[in-house]
Amino acid sequence: MNVTDIVLQSSSPKLSQKQDYIFHGGRRHVRPYYFEFISHVNKRWTGKTIVDLFADEFKGRPRDYYVGAVKSGRIKVDGETVPVSYIVKSSQKITHFLHRHEPPVMTDDVEILLKEPDVVTVCKPASIPVHPCGQYRKNTVVGILDAEHDLGPLFPIHRLDRLVSGLLIIARTAAKADFFRQQIEGGLVKKRYIAKVVGVFPEEEKVVDANINYNGSQGRSTAEDASSSGDDKNVKGKPACTKFTRIDTNGTHSLVLCEPVTGRTHQIRVHLQYTGHPIANDPLYLTQHVDDLETKIAKRIDAGERKLVSPDDYVYSSEDFSIDPMCTNCPKLIPQGYEEHDEALWLHCVRYSGTGWEYECPYPSWASL
């Protein structure tokens, strides 16, 4: 299959179309499509061969694939086909043309709550990223809104983690996005979430003022009480503060209102763990044993131990998509080594408010005790 014979979907003004999606086994899948990734050689990459660069930095595909991709011109340097022994230089542009398979998400609708000329608010389901990132492009909130409601371009002004649900405010113009960002950066925006936590949360209001230290290699944060160390030099992470108020409890779980003053990575989740009342279905923060987490991460990285989305491991159908002979994911619809981990976290954004504006989202079904 000649690269020049394939039309890039990324050249379309729309991010996605209705026909891009396949619904199977309770999941929303994306039909595999051709896409060109563009990057520039950084300091760490300089001096490596083009094949070594990809084999070392992008381990999702075997080395043999990258050898074939360079030879066939699917990987180019500054727009030119190069030999597999080519040594890359600083700031050169590298393009990788590939058959892209996105991970599936749950089939829950992205419900539009309010549509105004310059703002749209939605109730984001868990499992769906807000905007293109990592392996996701079409299977995102902005991608689905473009496909199903012809809403685009869109400018998300805040982000919810993939497994977190609730209110998402999206600007429809760059000017409106700047308005919201100025208020957020100025500390004028108040946020409210609800969480379902373990145990009986204290009845009185509780304020947690503990630094958040995010560890990218572990994919989780830790909290540290800055006042207890007595030495600012020993304090790691960034200052973070969250106010918690119990809404209800049944003796086993509690429903808690969470009002973050700052916006650190996993702040609400780790601050709830810090109080001794973690979110009741949070796989990362139900335990503080990092060794257990590292074991789980190691298993997740090992593709041989990953669990596929369905027992029949959904494979190619001629009605669904065409197989690319060089693609390492075909004939499966899902990416190689995909692990199912889409359970909705019991954390939901219910309100954002600022100077002269306020938006709300209904409570989820799990919020009833």
Q: Give me the active site residues, please.
A: 161
d(CA 314, CA 130) in angstroms, rounded, equals 25
The residues, ordered by sequence, that sit 6+ positions from 361 with a Cβ below 8 Å of its Cβ are 113, 121, 123, 166, 167, 348, 349, 350, 351
State the burial class of residue 152 (Cβ atoms within 10 Å of its Cβ: 0-12, 13-18, 19+): middle
d(CA 88, CA 196) in angstroms, rounded, equals 51
d(CA 293, CA 302) in angstroms, rounded, equals 14
d(CA 111, CA 165) in angstroms, rounded, equals 11
Alpha carbon 325 to its chain's center: 29
CA torsion angle 296 128 265 219 (round to 10): 20
Strand partners, 166: 124, 349
* Alpha-carbon radius of gyration of the chain: 23
